[in-house]
């Protein structure tokens, strides 16, 4: 297997001005669990010219491996996944402004093989296949040794989110590209001329599907690898089912083993759907508007991050508030108020399986820890 630095990392540069603990990390842009949940891999953006990949022990928060400082021309990775070798990760980044995917060996600090470039495609029959703008990845997931699903936005103006399934070995298209926002002409959307804007995605490999949600409230379930549309429905307000226009999806999360889908909205409501029960709504947790202000501090109710772990659902809010509930009965399971030193919305929640430990972060600082009350 070919190994090269591909100008991805800077030679002879150590951790520079970064901290050596997860809580002291600067501006984490992405984080994932590796090594069976025992370590946390982060991408940190110290300033415009200093970015790194770093690995921390999940139990102590101390740095576990030498930092890999990215080259100046390499953009900050905002999506990462672990491949079938636990030492290998795939990062979505860019080089001199051109989006690409790059496989990396963490222990060796090397780029593996050539970068993967995904183009937006326009097909006309069987004769023409034009490669247009490059696709910048927002979410990606490995479903099996062969299938890689990417959800992203082409570079340039007037772009529309696309979903693609690639063969990891040959880089051939197994499904897509599918435009997952824009104007739809499927009768199941109930409104073929409606324009949809932002979209969010979550992978459910055990279930064999990828779910996208639009800011206008539409949810769609796509089969992997061919990306055929399995189901589509619209999230409605449980208080007033007729006022669908007020249901704005802000984030998604999945519990693949239980086939549950979580939807966070701008109104503060968190909806839980069961994909095993024909996408039935089984629970809604509401943000009590009377609790949106504590003293002189006003809390925004919009849900900006969501995670499902075992019997719990955790929601992060635009204010920096973190809340947890039990899915079975909707009972509260804990809360962390916004930190005065760490302002900004919560942008990611990362549960560590079977431990009750949860890492969460805002867009400005390191990851904080929260323990769920597992009995």
The mean pLDDT value for 153-180 works out to 78
Q: What is the pLDDT of residues 83-121, one digit of tens each?
A: 878 888 999 888 777 788 889 988 888 888 888 877 655
Residues 6+ apart with CB under 8 A from 47: none
Q: Quickly count: other Cβ atoms within 10 Å of residue 52's Cβ.
A: 24
Position 225 confidence tier, pLDDT thresholds 50, 70, 90: very high
ω into 177 cis (within 30 of 0): yes
Are residues 299 and 213 part of one domain?
Answer: no
pLDDT for res 293: 47
Position 187 confidence tier, pLDDT thresholds 50, 70, 90: very low
- Calculate the dihedral angle through the C-alpha atoms of 246, 250, 253, 259, rounding to the nearest 10 degrees: 20
pLDDT for res 230: 92
Are residues 132 and 30 part of one domain?
Answer: no
Query: Could you say which of 117, 138, 173 is where a domain stops?
Result: 117
- Which tokens hold the place of 154? 């082409």
Contact 273, 261 (CB under 8 A): yes
Are residues 316 and 278 part of one domain?
Answer: yes
Q: How far apart are the first and last CA of the chain?
A: 47
Are residues 15 and 95 part of one domain?
Answer: yes
What's the distance, CA 75 to chain centroid? 18
pLDDT for res 21: 81
The mean pLDDT value for 321-343 works out to 83
Lowest mean pLDDT segment, chosen from 8-22, 203-217, 251-265, 327-341: 8-22
What's the number of domains the chain is made of? 3
Whether pLDDT at 122 is above 70: no
The mean pLDDT value for 130-148 works out to 77
What is the Rg, in whole angstroms, of the alpha carbon atoms belonging to the chain?
A: 21
**Structural domain of residue 188, as residue ranges?**
118-234
Whether pLDDT at 27 is above 70: yes
Position 198 confidence tier, pLDDT thresholds 50, 70, 90: low
Are residues 91 and 79 part of one domain?
Answer: yes
**Hey, what long-range contacts does 228-233 have (CB within 8 A, 24 or more apart)?**
228/175, 229/186, 229/188, 231/279, 232/186, 232/188, 232/189, 233/279
Q: How would you classify the pairing of strands 346-351 and 199-204?
A: unpaired
Are residues 255 and 338 part of one domain?
Answer: yes
The mean pLDDT value for 298-320 works out to 84
Are residues 91 and 17 part of one domain?
Answer: yes
Position 19 confidence tier, pLDDT thresholds 50, 70, 90: low
Are residues 189 and 262 part of one domain?
Answer: no
Angle at 164 between CA 142 and CA 39, to 5 degrees: 25
Whether pLDDT at 154 is above 80: no
Q: Of 27, 31, 60, which Cα lies nearest the Cα of 44?
A: 27
Q: Distance between CA 56 and CA 51 in Å, rounded? A: 16
- Which tokens hold the place of 108? 């060796």
Q: How far is CA 108 from CA 58, 65, 66, 191, 289, in A?
A: 21, 10, 10, 52, 51
Q: Distance between CA 370 and CA 307 in Å, rounded? A: 13
Contact 80, 43 (CB under 8 A): yes
Whether pLDDT at 175 is above 70: yes
Query: Could you say which of 117, 141, 171 is where a domain stops?
Result: 117
Lowest mean pLDDT segment, chosen from 308-312, 332-336, 339-343: 339-343
Are residues 291 and 182 part of one domain?
Answer: no
Q: How far is CA 159 from CA 130, 136, 362, in A?
A: 16, 11, 27
Lowest mean pLDDT segment, chosen from 90-94, 267-271, 364-368: 364-368
Position 254 confidence tier, pLDDT thresholds 50, 70, 90: very high
Query: Could you say which of 191, 216, 234 is where a domain stops?
Result: 234
Are residues 274 and 207 part of one domain?
Answer: no
Residues in the chain: 375
Residues 6+ apart with CB under 8 A from 352: 33, 37, 58, 358, 359
Global confidence as pTM: 0.83
Q: What mean pLDDT is reported for the chain? A: 78
pLDDT for res 273: 95
Whether pLDDT at 15 is above 70: no
* β-pair partners for 368: 360
Are residues 112 and 2 part of one domain?
Answer: yes
Contact 330, 312 (CB under 8 A): no
The mean pLDDT value for 174-191 works out to 57
Helix, strand or coil, per DSSP, at residue 59: coil
Contact 285, 313 (CB under 8 A): yes
Contact 19, 27 (CB under 8 A): no
Which domain CATH number covers 366?
2.130.10.10
Are residues 203 and 151 part of one domain?
Answer: yes
Higher pLDDT, 207 or 117: 207
């Amino acid at each position: 297997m070919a190994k090269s630095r591909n100008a991805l990392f800077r030679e002879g540069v150590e951790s520079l001005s970064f901290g050596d603990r997860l809580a002291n990390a600067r501006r984490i842009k992405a984080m994932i669990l590796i090594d069976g949940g025992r370590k946390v891999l982060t991408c940190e953006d110290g300033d415009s010219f200093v970015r790194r990949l770093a690995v921390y022990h999940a139990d102590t928060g101390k740095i576990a491996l030498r930092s890999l400082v990215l080259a100046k021309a390499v953009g900050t990775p905002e999506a990462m996944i672990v491949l079938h070798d636990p030492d290998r990760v795939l990062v979505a980044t860019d080089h001199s402004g051109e989006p690409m995917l790059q496989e990396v060996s963490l222990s060796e600090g090397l780029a593996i093989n050539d970068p993967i470039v995904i183009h937006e495609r326009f097909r006309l029959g069987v004769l023409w296949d034009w490669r247009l703008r490059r696709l910048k990845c927002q979410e990606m997931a490995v479903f099996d040794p062969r299938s890689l699903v990417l959800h992203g936005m082409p570079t340039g103006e007037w772009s529309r989110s696309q979903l693609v399934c690639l063969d990891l070995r040959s880089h051939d298209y197994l499904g897509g590209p599918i435009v997952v926002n824009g104007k739809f002409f499927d009768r199941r959307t109930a409104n073929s001329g409606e324009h949809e804007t932002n979209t969010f995605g979550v992978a459910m490999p055990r279930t064999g599907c990828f779910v996208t949600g639009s800011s206008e409230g539409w949810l769609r379930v796509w089969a992997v690898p061919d990306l055929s549309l399995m189901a589509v429905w619209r999230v409605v307000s449980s208080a007033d089912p007729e006022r669908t226009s007020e249901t704005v999806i802000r984030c998604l999360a999945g519990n693949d083993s239980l086939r549950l889908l979580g939807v966070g909205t701008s109104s503060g409501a968190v909806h839980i759907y069961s994909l095993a029960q024909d996408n039935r709504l089984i629970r809604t947790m509401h943000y009590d508007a009377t609790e949106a202000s504590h003293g002189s501090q006003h809390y925004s109710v919009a849900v900006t991050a969501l995670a499902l772990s075992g019997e719990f659902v955790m929601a992060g809010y635009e204010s920096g508030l973190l809340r947890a509930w039990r899915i079975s009965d909707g009972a509260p399971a804990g809360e962390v108020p916004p930190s005065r030193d760490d302002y900004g919305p919560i942008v990611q929640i990362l549960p560590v399986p079977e431990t009750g430990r949860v890492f969460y972060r805002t867009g400005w600082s390191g990851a904080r820890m929260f323990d769920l009350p597992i009995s």
